[in-house]
Structure 1
Amino acid sequence: MNGVGMLSTRRALAAVVSAVTLLTASACGSADEDAGATKVEVFTWWAEGGEKAGLDALVGRFTTDCPGHEFENGVVAGGAGVNAKQVLGARIEQNDPPDTFQVHAGAELADYIAAGRVQDLSGEYDSWGLRQAFPQGLIDDLTVAGKIYSVPSNVHRANVVWANSQVLSDAGIVRTPKTLDAFLKDLATLRRAGVESPLALGRDWTQLMLLESVLISGLGPKRFAGLFTGDTKWQSRAVRDALADYAQLISFSNPDRDALDWPQAEQLLIDGRAGYQLMGDWLAADLAAKNFRAYESFTFPGTDGVFQWLADSFVLPAGATNAEGTRCWLKTVASAEGQREFNIRKGSIPARTDVTGDGFSAYQVAAMKDWESDTPVPSCAHGSACSQDWQNALNAALGAFSTAPEKNVTALQNALAATAAQYVKG
């Protein structure tokens, strides 16, 4: 695994990096401890591709909007922020937070909020007009005990299926499946046509993404969200039925799924060794970057009208060295101009609903319209519905299920219910 970016000597991270067995890269910029108060260290996992291009665009806007403050890159590479979260956690425990850090908006922040590690931004939401710019459903999901602690830079959609058009055509599949049963039949058709692994799938959190879409399809958005608040019971017949469907789905996936991250699973789709992949809509930008355009996409069967969202966001940590500069960074991230320039390049869409579609791709324009009208539902796989610890526990349960010789749905349901009992309050 690689780590790149600026990790200044005053942060003394060598021991931390060694402890988590990461390779962090060389510095970019000055490490002078006294260079100081005007620097704003922005800690992210945006190290390459569209996300790096989006970050660069935000930096350019920040430089224009915030004279007297200097961007300091604190990037740590790693898929879905796995590496960065480990380094960040160690720094915060040492009372050495960056000026701001990237985090998935929503419940992923719960532990930091409870520990007083991040500051309330409700006043900034009022003064910057963000309560009007963001959809009410997003505001609701961001609010904890009446307060808001993060500013989303974008929105991604999780419940999207991507398909290799040529593979489907060769198998005689010409219609988009509208139900899960129809989708399972299409997967069976692909296998009969000689596609050994019709559904491309990766490890732990990508399996959790798939399970979430199945649960939304079977339970509907309200009852799905209730799984993470205690309003819906994991020990229910509806959940069991969804888990049985999930077991069928993974039986159509690649046997090496637990050894792959999403880009490796995506390669199965590109190479025509799979027909479908469930993945967030960052896949569109990645497929374009790889010059693969013979694909189509649709919302996971049974989830039409539901927008399962995740959002990269930034916070103001308690003890930030340059709180004034951080607020200016957050205001830039929240601005219509900042969200436009960032999201056009990253392939996501603005969290704001007042940004026009000019300059965005056809997929992004369609997603922006859906974001305005669909029912928003959070994602545990990406931190908007559950805490990091809960997500890790679910990943472990699904990993055990994936590798078990016999797929015992009852055992999986018991494991998921026992996990929920540890984290649901009340």
Structure 2
Amino acid sequence: MMKDTELNRRDVLKSAGALGAAGMAGLAGCSGMGGGGGGGGPVEVLHGWTGGDGATAAEALEEAFNEEYPDTELDMNPIGGGGNQNLDAVVANRLQNDNPPSSFANWPGPNLARYEGVLGDISDLWEETGFTDSHVQEAVDLHQYNGAFRAVPLGSHRLNCLFYNTSVVEEAGVDPDSLNSVSALVDALETVASETDKIPMTHGASGTWTTTQLFGVTLLGSAGYDEYMNFVEGNPSEDAVRSAFESLATILENYINDDAASIGLTESNQNIIEGEAAFIHQGNWAAGAYRNAEDFEYGEDWGFKTFPGTEGMYTLHFDSFLYPSNNPSPESTRTWLEFVGGEAAQVAFNQYKGSIPTRTDVDMSEFGPYLQETAEDFADADERPPNIQHGLGITADQRSSLNDVISSEFSGPYNVDAATQGFVDAVSN
């Protein structure tokens, strides 16, 4: 069974046998939109959106493309697995075997380094479509690698989210809006535990990524923006990291569901939908599942609170599509990427995924009140720190190391000292 850490560049080059120079040259192919032997043909797109927050969004994206480009055949291939780990494995094997898909969903920023040498230059597409002017600046900056654009953004997720079931917190007598620190959150979880028979905070930890993600938002909420950025930039404060792990250990030891180790995100989020849990931390894809659930309305049945201690911040994450250079259908793939960065795709996908467009000119009227508020929060944010777990803040190698530490030292029992040292070592310059 594949270990639940994301593939890094070593994985791309080694997991199916190391490539020689000739093989690497074959993968590199052309550096631009050509290559692959013919520009048309079906567009084969790989993605990982199969859960309650993603399947509906992916279907809407596919329908919108087929409506806008009926003469271009689209072959959408969903590959399930939390944190993209199964998708990453398939992509790595395809690249190693010189059989790349037309495009695949993944994350920009430092994450692009894992695909060095196998991504093409689509700077001309960005220029011709005006994407550099129509997308938020962070998207423009983070979709470039080695001086060229390598991917196109589809939407932006927010990571510093705390969702709750309204009836459960009301039964406990907890006011989520009053929670303005990590310690206040811990107190609220204790109140839920003592006043109800519900799960204080539901967690799906069958993969390590959810706990690494929870560490990131706990660090941001307890230590603040500057210390969080010090961690991301390779100068971590051991005291700040230790404090975050201490709070996290308290939560995981006392307030999560008994079956957390055996379930993933989708099942964990169902505890909120079914009224079995008070709180969950996830990116706002959790809200995509709420929108797609029956009779589960924002403000009545569920609510949102900026993760305590991170008020005024928007922890940034992008969903994007990458362009393999040795492309089997370069012209058709160009059509796909132009679509992904356009308004029709960003409306079709994001309203169901629980994310917001990266374009600045999209009418938000179809997105519902929660995502309209999210877009306002993005625009008004004092800071937009990059996430740790999903590609924007640290390299794939570093992220893999963090997940290894969670697996070995912080999946029960919770060894604060070893986890602190492991995290500090993993990111230190």
Q: Same fold (TM over 0.5)?
A: yes
Equivalent residues in 2 for 1:270-419, closer than 5 Å:
270-291=273-294, 292-293=296-297, 294-374=301-381, 375-405=383-413, 407-419=414-426
Match of 2:100 among 97, 100, 106: 97
In structure 1, distance between residues paired with 2:248 and 2:51? 33
In structure 2, distance between residues paired with 1:174 and 1:221? 25
Q: Which moved more, 1:195-204 or 1:292-301?
A: 195-204
CA contact (8 A) 1:66 1:325 kept: no
In structure 2, distance between residues paired with 1:194 and 1:60? 44
CA contact (8 A) 2:61 2:345 kept: yes
2:213 maps to what in 1?
209
Q: Deviations over 1:34-92 (max 9, x none)?
A: 99942111111234656344334433443455465321223323334322211111111
Deviation at 1:175, TM superposition (A): 4.6
Q: Which moved more, 1:205-214 or 1:256-265?
A: 256-265
Q: Give 3-state SS (helix, strand or coil) of 2:384's partner.
A: strand
2:231 maps to what in 1?
227
5+ residue gaps in structure 1?
2-15, 17-33
In structure 1, distance between residues paired with 2:52 and 2:411? 32
Q: Which amino acid aligns with 1:396?
A: D
2:33 maps to what in 1?
none
CA contact (8 A) 2:204 2:268 kept: yes
Percent of counterpart pairs with the same letter?
A: 28
2:124 maps to what in 1?
123
Q: Are 2:262 and 1:259 aligned? A: yes
CA contact (8 A) 1:61 1:332 kept: no
Residues 133/225 of structure 1: CA separation in 2 closer, same or farther (3 Å cut): farther
In structure 2, distance between residues paired with 1:36 and 1:340? 28
In structure 2, distance between residues paired with 1:308 and 1:164? 22
Q: Give 3-state SS (helix, strand or coil) of 2:421's partner.
A: helix
CA contact (8 A) 2:83 2:209 kept: no
Q: Give 3-state SS (helix, strand or coil) of 1:43's partner.
A: strand
Cα RMSD (Å): 2.6
TM-score for both structures, normalised by structure 1? 0.83
Q: Which amino acid aligns with 2:391?
A: G
Q: Which moved more, 1:192-201 or 1:48-57?
A: 48-57
Residues 191/56 of structure 1: CA separation in 2 closer, same or farther (3 Å cut): closer
Q: Which amino acid aligns with 1:321?
A: P
CA contact (8 A) 1:353 1:368 kept: no
Q: Which amino acid aligns with 2:200?
A: P
CA contact (8 A) 1:38 1:68 kept: no
Residues 52/403 of structure 1: CA separation in 2 closer, same or farther (3 Å cut): closer
Q: Deviations over 1:211-265 (max 9, x none)?
A: 11111113333442342332x32x5322222222222222322243222101222
In structure 2, distance between residues paired with 1:53 and 1:372? 27
Residues 47/276 of structure 1: CA separation in 2 closer, same or farther (3 Å cut): closer
2:150 maps to what in 1?
149
1:13 maps to what in 2?
none
Residues 161/109 of structure 1: CA separation in 2 closer, same or farther (3 Å cut): same
CA contact (8 A) 1:138 1:376 kept: no
Deviation at 1:196, TM superposition (A): 6.3
Q: Give 3-state SS (helix, strand or coil) of 2:277's partner.
A: coil
CA contact (8 A) 1:258 1:402 kept: no
In structure 2, distance between residues paired with 1:194 and 1:259? 24
TM-score for both structures, normalised by structure 2? 0.83
CA contact (8 A) 1:122 1:148 kept: yes
Residues 417/301 of structure 1: CA separation in 2 closer, same or farther (3 Å cut): same
CA contact (8 A) 1:353 1:372 kept: no
Q: Give 3-state SS (helix, strand or coil) of 1:266's partner.
A: helix
Query: Which 4+ stretches in 1 moved above 4 angstroms?
Result: 64-68
CA contact (8 A) 1:137 1:376 kept: no
In structure 1, distance between residues paired with 2:228 and 2:310? 11
5+ residue gaps in structure 2?
2-15, 17-36
In structure 1, distance between residues paired with 2:256 and 2:360? 37
Q: Give 3-state SS (helix, strand or coil) of 2:410's partner.
A: helix
In structure 2, distance between residues paired with 1:345 and 1:169? 27
In structure 1, distance between residues paired with 2:230 and 2:130? 30
1:29 maps to what in 2?
none
1:26 maps to what in 2?
none
Residues 356/36 of structure 1: CA separation in 2 closer, same or farther (3 Å cut): closer
In structure 1, distance between residues paired with 2:332 and 2:142? 26
CA contact (8 A) 2:204 2:267 kept: yes
Q: Give 3-state SS (helix, strand or coil) of 1:306's partner.
A: coil
In structure 1, distance between residues paired with 2:169 and 2:324? 49
In structure 2, distance between residues paired with 1:308 and 1:340? 21
In structure 1, distance between residues paired with 2:80 and 2:257? 27
Residues 344/287 of structure 1: CA separation in 2 closer, same or farther (3 Å cut): closer
Q: Give 3-state SS (helix, strand or coil) of 2:391's partner.
A: coil
Q: Which amino acid aligns with 1:299?
A: T
In structure 2, distance between residues paired with 1:275 and 1:145? 45
Count the aligned residue pairs: 387
